[in-house]
Amino acid sequence: MVVLITENIEEGSRTAARLVGQAVNNNPALRLGLAAGNTPTGLYRNLVDLHRSERLDFSRVEIFSLDEFLGLATNSANSYHTFYHQHLLNHVNIDPTHLHLLNGQTDKDIASYCSYYEQLIRDNGGIDLQILGIGRNGHLGFNEPGSSLNSRTRISLLSASTRRGMARLFTQAHVPEWAVTMGLGTILEARVLLLLAFGKQKAAAVAKAVEGPLCASIPASSIQLHPTSILVLDHEAASSLRNQEYYRHEASQLEALLPDWLRGEKSSSVADSPSTGNCPF
């Protein structure tokens, strides 16, 4: 696990966008998992800027989504389908046939649909880089406290605290009680996890996820099991971490510690070929 502590949200968003941008440059056929919510909006804004200013090419990137509200039409103003298009997909050269976004209003039996989505990920070779946020109660995706660490894509009943936190986004509508989400087991199969957290309100959850025990009551603690997880935090979100001094020292040695792809060194053997079952970086 690599913990990058930045001074503020803006720096954190730029740092995360640099990592994603370098991943796309190194592997144009990157399979990228998106997360919704307020946290990654700056990341997506910076990716759009990189597309416009440096011609970051999304034409071969395959997109998957982490979660979606159950029962909302894809064109609903509150759906994550709409969120992804508003903040990223409408502004880059993505191929519509490469979009694999969860549908909260599927015409299939929901259990069958979740199995279909799991198979879709497998058929495409798995997710290379999964973007994540973290809930105040430690949820990851919509995997609420108590979720199995081996859970797969499924429907999830949203907790009262999660629904309260989203109430401001549903000013004209009822906050859904259910969502469809990748399971923790699904998330952990991504080759690289990139988790973002900003603000003092996330500090307790971040500390439990990074330095606390691995437990189902803090679903985000499952990232401790992943061999290549990268956390980008602002100083407020990192404020409850006990080992800040070490993380900051580690960050100062980043060029020596991280793989070549994080340094922006393009590997032609990967970049010139489609994604494989190996780590894309």
Selecting among 67, 118, 234, 236, the annotated active-site residue is 67
Which single residue is written with the structure tokens 């952990």?
A: 188
Q: Is 137 a catalytic residue?
A: yes
| Structure letter (DSSP) for residue 121 | H
Selecting among 139, 226, 234, 236, the annotated active-site residue is 139
Selecting among 62, 137, 143, 234, the annotated active-site residue is 137
Residue among 219, 134, 227 at smallest CA distance from 185: 219
Q: Is 123 a catalytic residue?
A: no
**Distance from first CA to last CA of the chain, Å, rounded?**
16
Give the Cα-Cα-Cα angle 12, 14, 20 (nearest 5 degrees).
105
Selecting among 144, 226, 234, 236, the annotated active-site residue is 144
Q: Is 144 a catalytic residue?
A: yes
Alpha-carbon distance of 180 to 64, in angstroms, equals 13
Distance of CA 216 to the CA centre of its chain: 19
Specify the pairing of strand 154-157 against strand 178-181. antiparallel
Question: Which residue numbers are catalytic?
Answer: 67, 137, 139, 144
